[in-house]
Amino acid sequence: MILGTVYHLIDGDPKRIRPSRPHVGIQVGEGRLIWLTDGEVFFEEVLSGTGTDRERYAITGFRYRIRDGRLSNDGDAFQAVYTPQPDDRPPWFRFVIDIRVP
């Protein structure tokens, strides 16, 4: 288990921090973590490079809500892939999910 927090910087300025939120992380393999927050689930993974591809880092996640004892996703999911070079990064990918737990 890992306890952490995430800070989002306004315009990349470390002196301008948006409110942070605590995370609980669970390692699920080498270079793989699942992070849980109050309302979000994230899967982080380091992807090794092959051939001309460089090592990259991917984060896939979605928001959830609990209403009347039922768990469901809140909107679409997303995936972001980060590379050492910002110009070499693919755009954020959004996709539809439908998670419902009675």
Could you tell me the residue range of the domain that residue 80 belongs to? 27-101
CA atoms of 14 and 17, how far apart (whole Å)? 6
pLDDT at 33: 94
Residue 76 in any domain: the answer is yes
Tell me: the pLDDT tens digits for 8-41?
Answer: 788 878 888 887 788 899 999 999 999 999 899 9
Q: What is this structure's pTM?
A: 0.76
Residue 3 in any domain: the answer is no
Residue 7 in any domain: the answer is no
Residue 20 in any domain: the answer is no
Tell me: the pLDDT tens digits for 64-94?
Answer: 999 998 999 999 999 999 888 888 888 989 9
Name the DSSP letter for residue 102.
-
**Number of domains the chain is built from:** 1
Residue 15 in any domain: the answer is no
Residue 47 in any domain: the answer is yes
pLDDT at 62: 95
pLDDT at 96 > cutoff 80: yes
